[in-house]
Amino acid sequence: MTTTIAPAPSAAQATVTLPGAEVLLRALVEQGVEVIFGYPGGAVLPIYDALFRQNHIRHILVRHEQAAVHAAEAYARSTGKVGVVLVTSGPGATNAVTGLLDAMMDSIPLVCLSGQVPTALIGNDAFQEADTTGITRPVTKYNYLVRRPEDLAPAVHEAFAIARSGRPGPVLVDLPKNITVGDAPYISAQAVTPRTGKIRTTPDRAAVSRAVAAMKAARRPLFYIGGGVINSGPQASEALRKLAKLTGFPVTSTLMGLGAYPATDSQFLGMLGMHGTYEANLATHGCDVLVALGSRFDDRVTGRVNAFSPGSFKIHVDIDPSQINKIVHVDEGIVGDVGETIAMMIEEWLKPPAYAHAADLTAWWAQIEGWRALDCLRFKQDQAPDAVIKPQQAISRIFELGRQTGRDMYVSTEVGQHQMWAAQFFKFDKPNRWLTSGGLGTMGYGLPAAVGAQVAHPDALVMDIAGEASTLMNIQELGTIAQYRLPVKIFIINNHYMGMVRQWQELLHGSRYSESYSDALPDFVKLAESFHARGLRVTRLDQLDDTIREALAHDGPVMVDICVAEGENCFPMIPSGAAHNEMILGPEQEDSGAQISQEGQMLV
Amino acid sequence: MQHEISGSAVISLLVDNESGALARIVELFSGRGYNIQSLTVAPVDEIGAISRVNIVTTGTPSAIGQVKVQIERLVPVSRVVNLSAQGPHVAREMALVKVVSSGEPRTEALRIAEAFRARAVDTTATSFVFELTGSTDKLDSFIELMRPLGLVEVSRTGVASICRGPQTIQNF
Ligand SMILES: Cc1ncc(C[n+]2csc(CCOP(=O)(O)OP(=O)(O)O)c2C)c(N)n1
Ligand SMILES: [Mg+2]
């Protein structure tokens, strides 16, 4: 810790001194924390003791520290608040690492509190000692090892400020046991000046005005939105709707941006990228002005970078300056909060001259409608009553029947084909409802994420669209679900394969299905029952809707094992190393379509 | 400046002098595949709370641009300047060069040292330690010339750099 965040002397005079653990909890309360996801151990016992003696903060006991982080991520993503995690030293902290990186990649604001051995023992290979700040440095936005009592409260306050400011992310505070046991001064948040001053939220007016001038000159424009719009807050989504309506431009979204623009709106083209829609990808390829809003040109979006949206004038708005020109060279980079920037774009758009090419947009829209007419997400479901259920059928019915309940829906996913189908078939009209691991693609995210979302929204319909392989990675969270009676609905799209791996093996490795079969699966119905949840199974088409309805109507947790066709592939697909206009649309094209190059094979 | 070889740049930054700060910077370079040719670090304010780090890195201009914005993201870093892009600046390093020889090579080593204005900071009957301050290129050529004359060991500081004229790292 440094003197830069130490309180001003006048403020320090009013401080009280308390045991460190109580100082910590006071700081959390001052930061508005209501829920902590955690797991105890020796190094955090003083904190658990302090938790025991208070009523302000609710503690949710998970069954694995990785799950604590994912639950906190979903809590944060679905509420806009900072998620809080508490883990013990050593293995507790190392178990949290995957979750922290997941939050880092998807820009989720978290504070992770970890126990540490007493400062006097640090460096001695003490029991359950880990160099936690060293291990987590590359997976956090920032981290602290609190060595002095007077640094405790300021570190916690600054951690929250850093987690939520600019591009959000996870911050870890490592707390040696002597710090939480010993006395420390309580310092309030106002007395701390966090080092977040470098962040620029208000964009440069001149740059925005140049961008809008380019937008007004566009004949084939496109908004390409990302998770930044959601992070910016609901007002950014509102502003985006307004800007889209004013301009009439089409909108495509990344996986992380889904919900920021209403999916049922006619200007929405669906997701772009590797498993994006035909219309979204061809519009990206063919547009003349591309307006990237809070998106980061991820390789899952761009495909082959030198073939990405060739010939478009590119505008990129991001709060993180390091994202601009990182992967794709842009013509107008704008650093700022995406919500503020969209609002400024609206002001500039309304200034004269009026958009001259509104008529030309008709031609662009006609082209888009032509692509849309291909109906790229269509699939063939045999309608016989005893037909094998297609995974797409299962997922589209879950969405439809979920929607029909009229309840507020939050949806988490695991990672794989089911995740991509969920992204394709779930139509989110509001932000913060879609919880998925985008940047890291962490199998095991979905079940704990459903826990976090249900804790945050006790009355909402929380669903987890899972794969049978992924869900086993954090299946122990059924225990958490049981303990807190969280009525989450888990739908396992059980294709008996690590489907996404199987798909790549089919397309890139001569159908050699090396180790991708989900062998020796548990009986998910009995598994659910053993965790005090309802277990259901469906194997034939004619029982699909009824089973989903039954699950949705049940007022407790349910796990539904939906046995689906094993060999289905997720389309459209842009193979790695290919361009957006080299998409594979369906099984018919698997061999004839884009040739997967050797170079493409080397990409992930 | 002499190190303005194409692809090389001096980045200077101010960082809070806290534990792990240097690791953050160094790990950023290794984690993102950037290259460090030399790195110097020392506290520069009156209370030792702020350190200045000078890093010589190589790469394309856009890669170096990325290095700069990535470093700027680090919480304890308050200022980052690419001095090479910013205009005229002074970049100096110091070397200690040990030469063990006798006879003609020894006299030749001494003559070259004088020409370079290197100081002999340690002298024995069979050895010299020369101290030389200057640009990286100057140090490189001095060391090259000493190689056949009994050079046995080199210790270099890496580059310290500052911009020319009245402006400072704080007010670019
Ligand atoms: C922790 C982790 N390990 C490995 C992978 C690689 N991986 C990506 S998808 C996938 C298969 C997922 O299978 P399943 O959960 O059954 O989903 P499906 O693709 O069949 O829908 C694997 C192994 C990963 N993303 N995360
Ligand atoms: Mg599967």
Tell me the pLDDT tens digit for each residue of A384-441.
999 999 999 999 999 999 999 999 999 999 999 999 999 999 999 999 999 999 999 9
Structural domain includes residue A86: yes
The answer to whether residues A339 and A283 belong to one domain is yes
- CB contact (8 A) between residue A137 and residue B76: no
Is there a contact between B131 and B94 (Cβ–Cβ < 8 Å)?
Answer: yes
Residue (of A308, A164, A159, A152) closest to A224 by Cα position? A308
Phi-psi region of A498 (alpha: psi -120 to 50; beta: other; left: phi over 0): beta
Prior bond of A46 cis (ω within 30°) = no
- Give the catalytic positions of A in this structure: 65, 127-128, 177, 500
The answer to whether residues A209 and A325 belong to one domain is yes
- CB contact (8 A) between residue B75 and residue A141: yes
Whether ipTM exceeds 0.90 = yes
Structural domain includes residue A571: no
Structure pTM?
A: 0.95
Residue A357, pLDDT score: 81
From atom 3 of ligand 1, which residue's Cα is the shortest distance away? A443
Strand segments, DSSP code E, in B2-159 are 8-16, 38-43, 50-58, 77-82, 89-100, 119-123, 127-134, 151-156
The answer to whether residues A43 and A106 belong to one domain is yes
**How many domains does chain A contain in total?**
3
How much is the CA Rg of chain A, to the nearest whole Å? 25
- pLDDT band at residue A595, thresholds of 50, 70 and 90? low
What domain range is A317 assigned to? 205-372
Regarding the beta carbon of A497 and ligand 1, being less than 6 Å apart is answered yes
Return the CATH number at A279. Answer: 3.40.50.1220
Q: What is the pLDDT of residues B80-92, one digit of tens each?
A: 999 999 889 999 9
Residue A593, pLDDT score: 43
The answer to whether residues A363 and A400 belong to one domain is no
- pLDDT band at residue A599, thresholds of 50, 70 and 90? low
From atom 9 of ligand 1, which residue's Cα is the shortest distance away? A416
**Which chain A residues contact residue B24 at CB under 8 A?**
137
Regarding the beta carbon of A499 and ligand 1, being less than 6 Å apart is answered yes
- pLDDT band at residue B4, thresholds of 50, 70 and 90? very low
Regarding the beta carbon of A492 and ligand 1, being less than 6 Å apart is answered no
The answer to whether residues A293 and A320 belong to one domain is yes
A592's CB contacts (< 8 A; 6+ apart) are none
| % chain B with pLDDT above 90 | 91
Would you say residue A4 has pLDDT above 90? no
CATH class of B90-160: alpha beta
Q: Residue A225: beta bridge partners?
A: A253, A293
Q: What is the pLDDT of residues A285-326, one digit of tens each?
A: 999 999 999 999 999 999 999 999 999 999 999 999 999 999
Mutate to test the pocket of ligand 1, among A498, A508, A566 (most ligand atoms within 8 A of CB): A498
Rounded distance between C-alpha atoms, residue A307 and residue A295, angstroms: 18
* Last residue of one domain, picked from the residues A372, A407, A427: A372
Residue B71, pLDDT score: 97
Return the CATH number at A24. Answer: 3.40.50.970
Is there a contact between A561 and A535 (Cβ–Cβ < 8 Å)?
Answer: yes
- CB contact (8 A) between residue B49 and residue A4: yes
Rounded distance between C-alpha atoms, residue A189 and residue A491, angstroms: 43
Structural domain includes residue A247: yes
Domain residue spans in chain B? 7-87, 90-160
The answer to whether residues A209 and A173 belong to one domain is no
Residue A230, pLDDT score: 98
What is the CATH topology of the domain spanning B7-87?
Answer: Alpha-Beta Plaits (3.30.70)
The answer to whether residues A295 and A406 belong to one domain is no
Tell me the mean pLDDT in the region A318-343: 97
Residue ranges of B 118-157 with Cβ closer than 8 A to chain A: none
Would you say residue A602 has pLDDT above 90? no
Structural domain includes residue A295: yes
